[in-house]
Structures are given as C-alpha cells and as structure tokens.
Structure 1
Amino acid sequence: MSEPTNSQSKTVTAAILLIGDEILSGRTQDKNMAWMAGRLSEIGVQLREVRVVPDIEAEIVAAVNALRAKFDYIFTTGGIGPTHDDITADSMAAAFGVGIDYHPEAMAILTRHYETSGIEFNTARKRMARIPDGASLIDNPVSKAPGFRLENVYVMAGVPTIMQAMFEEIAPTLHGGAKMQSRTIGAGLPEGKVADALGELQSRYPDVSMGSYPYFRQGEVGTNLVIRSTDSDALNRAFDELMQAVTELGAVAIETT
C-alpha cells in the first residue's frame, strides 16, 4: 500500500500479527496487543484487526500478505530470536519474494554486543542477524538484536519490554490521521432496556461507533455506553442525545472516563 500521508482528515489503519505457538497454546499470555493499540490510538492510527498465527511459514506468509494489502501499517511480534522455531524473518522474505542473508549492520551490532557482554556469538545467535533483502533495521535498545521493516510491515520482538522499546524507535516515523475520540455514559439500567434507544441512535449516526457493556457492582446492574468517532461534533451530538434517551428511561446516568 502507499505510504500514509499526515492528514488530520485521513483514516490511517493498522493490523497486528502475533506470531508464535506459545501464544496459541496458552503458555504465553500476549501483552503486546493492548499496549500497541493504545500507542497507535495516540498517534492517530486505528487498529482494525489482530491475528494470531503459529510458527508455520505458510501461515505467516498468508497472513502478512493478506494484511499488508488491506491496511496502511502491519506490526508483527515474535519469532525473531535465535532458536530453530524463530522463522519470522524467513517467512517475511518468502512473503515479499526476496532473499535473506546476514545483514552487515546487524552483524556488526550483534558482534559488538556479544564482545562487550563476554558471551559467545555462536551460530544460533547469528541467526538474529539474518534480514530479508531490502529491509531497513529497527533499532533494539534493550537486547540489541534488531527488528526490521519491509514496505509497510514492521517486524518486532515478542518480549513486551523489547517490543515496546522497538516501537518507540519507529513511532516518530509513523504518520497518523484523524484521532479516535470517545465518551462513556454509565447508566443504572440493564443492557436490554437501553438496546432499542441505542440502536435507533446508531442508525442516525452511522459514523459514530456505539457499544454497550453491562456491569454488576455491589448488587447494582448497569450498562456502560461507549461512543467513539473521529468527528468530535458528531460525537458530542450523539452523546447529548444518548444521555437524554437514557434519562427518559428513568435511569441515573453519568459521564465516566
């Protein structure tokens, strides 16, 4: 896809591809998606899809090719370490139809790191310097093994602290669009009682996303009504109308954060 432009009116979209058998098995609980979703929102990039795939090249290739054609940015996590099942780099090369080899700059970074650490830079660790042809490196200030970028696909580590550090390295280069805004009403009534009013309001504000989320606190049954839009005027009008509708249903309603 074409490089996103820095326009406040443009909608810039992204997908996250989580790679790893350990996530699908439940052995590792992913913490990257929620963190990245928050940072992307701050930048003005709307996260539209998240997929989890195993350490199988064909699965990774199919997913990344589908997503990179659909969204402005793709961010992948996992599978760029030193072990045999770290196949993300090879899979990305296959997805883009390019070769892969030891990257001179990556090799230099890792050589200095292991010399300084007094740790053997063995064959397994050298795997982390294998980068698809034409990719640019993503700096890793934590453990030094770099990620990389191919077109609109950003490949990062799966360890949350390392992924977050990598993301902050690329964040200044990401071009956001209109930022999503949200307002929430906490209403002291069951979800089913407000459903009709919410549906009717949604039909009149198709560009405002509306959702209802029931809660149960200290014996109280209630519903959080969340509305979201990049259009602040439409958001505020919809909010005022929703507040009025909830009040007319006899509920105590307050704006919450």
Structure 2
Amino acid sequence: MQSDNKTAAILVIGDEILSGRTREGNAHHLSGVLSAVGIDLKEIRVVADEQDLIVEAIRALDSTLGGRYDLLFTSGGIGPTHDDVTADAVAQAFGVGIGMNEDALADMRARWEARGVTPTENALRMARIPLGAELIRNKVSAAPGFHIGNTYVMAGVPEVFRAMVEAILPDLPTGRPPISESVDVHRGESLVADDLKAVAEAYSDLSLGSYPWHRDGVYGTALVVRGLDPARVSAAMSDLKRRIGV
C-alpha cells in the first residue's frame, strides 16, 4: 500500500514472552492505536532480556540511529529487578549516560507517599533514565517511561503500557488512517488466488490480502482490500467481487 504516513516498529522485550509464560497483548493494542491515527506499523520484533540484543534492535529500528523506521515503541524491561535492562540498553544504543532522574524520583516519591508506601532501593531503580530523555508520565504507575530520539520506552504491564500510550498519543505525528473493505467467501485461498493477484496488480497502490478461516465445520477465506483512498478501495473490492462471482 502506497503511503506517505510515518512508519513505526514495536519492540517487545521479555523472556516471559519468548518462553510462552506470558501472552503478549501490548503490540496488538498499540497496532490498533497507530492505525487509527495514520501511522504505518511495519514491524514487530520480540527479543529477550539481554542488553546486547536490545541495543542491536533499537539501532536497527530507530531512524535517528540509522534504523529503518520513523518511530519505535518498546514494551517491557523497565521494572525494578535485575533482568530489567531496557533503560541501560537504550542509553547504550544512543551513546548517552544513565542516572537517577530527579523529576522521576520526585514524582515517584509523591505517589508512594500518598499511598503510605516506603519505596525500596530496588523500586528507586525505576527512576534511572538515560540522560537527555523526556519522561512519559502516566496515571496508573508511579514509575515513568521515557522518550529519546524517536524511541518511546514503555512498561510491559498491560495496564501501565496502555496508560503510557494514552499519554504520548497527543504528541505523535498523525497521517491518513487506512480504509478497508472485506468479504467472506466459502472457498479456499487457492481457488481465489489468481483473481486476487489480478486485482492486486491492477490496484498496486492498495494492499490486498486473503485470510483463511474455519467456522462450524465450514472453510472459507476473508478477502480484504486496504488503502488510503476510499474510492479506490471500493473500486478494487467491486472488481474482486465481480471476478469471483459474489
């Protein structure tokens, strides 16, 4: 699909995701948010809680570091334990130092004091922020995320992640959200592949896809047309329906 929208990647960080212990949902949530504001998500990558792997991924994905995409969003690895190494990895990727952020400390202490909680030294680790980064405050957690370059670093806990996404959303660039039309056919993909290819070639500015399904013992395929021009999307779908006879 041809587009001049900003491009983005999501980097999910966590051994618990790769081991299957935790079902990943943050990327799914963010992908819908990005699509709605006209940011084209191009890649989702998952890496372990290993600093070298995180550094490598950030440098490959953030355009300010020579990476592929205009924006990078990360999830996970900014908690209080020994395996939370994302902040250190981000600092290394950007070639900056890391230290206690006084604004983050003040915010965290105020939130904890209001709840009558005395923070541990491990909890205070969450105020370690790469130098020059801007905080991502949120309404759920005392600990912030942060933004440096074109990378937005957010928590892995779903409720906190969503609150951080909500916090950064007003400052993100916006584009043209894609329009889509779909039709279900009771045929296998192989039976509609030629027609789908013909329409895709005729409408090269659009994205056409086929997605097989199985419901109540019946097999079929969902055919989807996506693009930025509603008239072009409708025309392509009409052509596709005519070709397959629905």
Sort the TM-score into its range (normalised by shorter chain): over 0.9
TM-score normalized by structure 2? 0.94
Rounded Cα–Cα distance in structure 2 between residues aligned with 1:180 and 1:215: 23
Match of 1:111 among 94, 105, 109: 109
Alignment of 1:102-251 (within 5 A): 102-247=100-245
Rounded Cα–Cα distance in structure 2 between residues aligned with 1:153 and 1:92: 9
Alignment identity in percent? 47
1:18 equivalenced with 2:12 (yes/no)? yes
1:75 equivalenced with 2:69 (yes/no)? no
Aligned 8 A contact 2:37 2:176 in 1: no
Any idea what SS the aligned residue of 1:36 has?
helix
The Cα offsets for residues 111-161 of structure 1, whole Å up to 9 and x where unpaired, read as 112222222222101100000000000012101100000021000000111
- Misfit runs of 4+, over 6 Å: none
Q: Which residue of 1 aligns with 2:98?
A: 100
Any idea what SS the aligned residue of 1:196 has?
helix
What is the Cα deviation at residue 211 of structure 1? 1.0
- Bigger mean CA offset, 225-234 vs 128-137: 225-234
For 2:102, give the aligned amino acid.
Answer: P
The Cα offsets for residues 69-101 of structure 1, whole Å up to 9 and x where unpaired, read as 211111000011111111111110000000001
Rounded Cα–Cα distance in structure 1 between residues aligned with 2:175 and 2:27: 20
For 1:54, give the aligned amino acid.
Answer: A
Alignment of 1:25-104 (within 5 A): 25-69=19-63, 70-104=68-102
For 1:186, give the aligned amino acid.
Answer: D
Aligned 8 A contact 2:180 2:226 in 1: yes
Note the residue ranges of structure 2 that are not aligned, 5 or more in a row: none
Q: Which residue of 2 aligns with 1:250?
A: none
Any idea what SS the aligned residue of 1:240 has?
helix
TM-score normalized by structure 1? 0.90
Aligned 8 A contact 2:112 2:142 in 1: no
For 1:62, give the aligned amino acid.
Answer: E
The Cα offsets for residues 45-70 of structure 1, whole Å up to 9 and x where unpaired, read as 11110000111111000001110021
Rounded Cα–Cα distance in structure 2 between residues aligned with 1:150 and 1:190: 47
Rounded Cα–Cα distance in structure 2 between residues aligned with 1:103 and 1:199: 54
The Cα offsets for residues 2-60 of structure 1, whole Å up to 9 and x where unpaired, read as xxxxxxx7321110000011111111110101111111111111111000011111100
For 1:89, give the aligned amino acid.
Answer: A
- Bigger mean CA offset, 236-245 vs 184-193: 184-193
The Cα offsets for residues 160-219 of structure 1, whole Å up to 9 and x where unpaired, read as 110001100110111121211111011122221111111111111112111111222334
Rounded Cα–Cα distance in structure 1 between residues aligned with 2:166 and 2:144: 13
For 2:104, give the aligned amino acid.
Answer: A
Rounded Cα–Cα distance in structure 2 between residues aligned with 1:68 and 1:241: 39
Rounded Cα–Cα distance in structure 2 between residues aligned with 1:92 and 1:234: 42
Aligned 8 A contact 2:6 2:70 in 1: yes
- Bigger mean CA offset, 98-107 vs 201-210: 201-210
Note the residue ranges of structure 1 that are not aligned, 5 or more in a row: 1-8, 248-252
Rounded Cα–Cα distance in structure 2 between residues aligned with 1:123 and 1:74: 30
